[in-house]
Amino acid sequence: MIIIRKFQPADFPWIIDIERKVFNEHDPYLYMKFYENYPDTFIVAQINGMIVGYVAGFQAGDGVGRIFSLAVHPLYQRRKIGNSLLNEIIHVFTEMHIKEMILEVRWSNIVAKKFYQKLGFFQYGIAEKYYNNAEDACLMKLRI
Ligand SMILES: CC(C)(COP(=O)(O)OP(=O)(O)OC[C@H]1O[C@@H](n2cnc3c(N)ncnc32)[C@H](O)[C@@H]1OP(=O)(O)O)[C@@H](O)C(=O)NCCC(=O)NCCS
């Protein structure tokens, strides 16, 4: 059974593990800082006591919510866990009177672009050389 709930500090090692497996690009301690600043919009998915995915978002302006990071452990992908995490953060953002959500995704990350498009996100721009390796970011938005 999957439990979707708010991040707790004891989840931190699981988050680091998932981050290293899927991105390996953020300083993991950013996530603790993130929790200190935005505890309501740092959400995890738990199965049998293990954390298998997370989404970290924050209010980025008046009526705007931004996704900082979203990931599902490779062994648990394609089971609608990403979907459940995103739906939960949409719910929380809605309660915060947020009207639109934005995020950036690597231009080469076809899977994530498909994933977000399926949930109704659309591309509204490109940030050139946004990432450390000079890759462009696809800017995506969802009206909620
Ligand atoms: C993107 C990610 C979070 C999706 O999570 P997930 O739990 O595997 O996705 P879901 O099972 O909820 O998929 C929902 C829909 O997204 C699309 N999708 C997800 N994975 C896909 C894949 N590998 N190939 C094609 N479409 C895919 C499908 O339309 C899917 O619906 P379907 O299974 O009914 O066809 C996950 O692949 C991941 O962690 N990737 C690495 C990190 C990343 O890229 N994060 C996003 C950038 S910030």
Task: Return per-residue pLDDT of the chain as tens, 144 residues.
Answer: 999 999 999 999 999 999 999 998 888 788 999 999 999 999 999 999 999 999 999 999 999 999 999 999 999 999 999 999 999 999 999 999 999 999 999 999 999 999 999 999 999 999 999 998 899 999 999 999
Please work out whether the CB of residue 72 comes within 6 Å of at least one atom of ligand 1: yes
Mutate which of 44, 54, 70, 78 for ligand 1 pocket (most atoms within 8 A of beta carbon): 78
What is the Å distance from ligand 1's center to 67 Cα? 15
Please work out whether the CB of residue 65 comes within 6 Å of at least one atom of ligand 1: no
Q: Does domain 2-143 have CATH number 2.60.120.10?
A: no
Distance, CA of 104 to CA of 113 (rounded, Å)? 10
Domain range list for the chain: 2-143
Whole-prediction pTM value? 0.96
Sign of the four-CA dihedral 113, 91, 75, 19: positive
Residue 55 host element (H or E): strand 50-61
